[in-house]
Amino acid sequence: MTRFRLHLLAALAVAGFFVSAPAFAQVSGCQEGQKIIAERRSLSEQFAKLTQGGKKIDARSACSLFTKLATNGEVGQKWMTENKDWCQIPDQALQELAQAHKQVTKVKGDACQAAAKMAEMEKRAKQQAQQGQQGGMAGKMGGGLTGTLSVPKGAM
């Protein structure tokens, strides 16, 4: 989980860089970029709350959060590339976002893989619990051993 934090901190540093860039906010028509950055900041604050006090983040929560961050990074990169000149976005900012996006995407993959393993383990545990309630193998065969034998009634 420490790797999670290091990667996210790098990604958040890039987001902070964009928020502090004065030329970025001054040019008319560049408000869409501000929305993207505000969303990124909100996601980073959510991560900070989830890991506050050294708490470990649940893999499912991490997967969801990093999926949103990755989507935000894709949208941000596309927008920045298209509006680089008009909004006076420095090359360095675009490069840093691309690097942060790579890190977020990698961490997202790790988190989602861990979440998928957790879901599979929970599914197996649930199935085993149900089998245990049904009497294990005997439950699958139509019942357990009762010690009695039913003899059909009729012409004998």
Domain boundaries, the chain: 2-135
Q: What percent of the chain has pLDDT over 70?
A: 68
Predicted TM-score (pTM) of this structure: 0.63
Nearest to 19 by CA among 37, 42, 31: 37
Q: What CA–CA distance (Å, rounded) separates 68 from 76?
A: 12
pLDDT digits (tens, 9 = 90+) for 78-105: 999 999 898 888 999 999 999 999 999 9
pLDDT digits (tens, 9 = 90+) for 6-55: 444 444 544 454 444 444 444 557 888 889 989 999 998 998 888 888 88
Q: In which residue are the tokens 């999926």 written?
A: 67
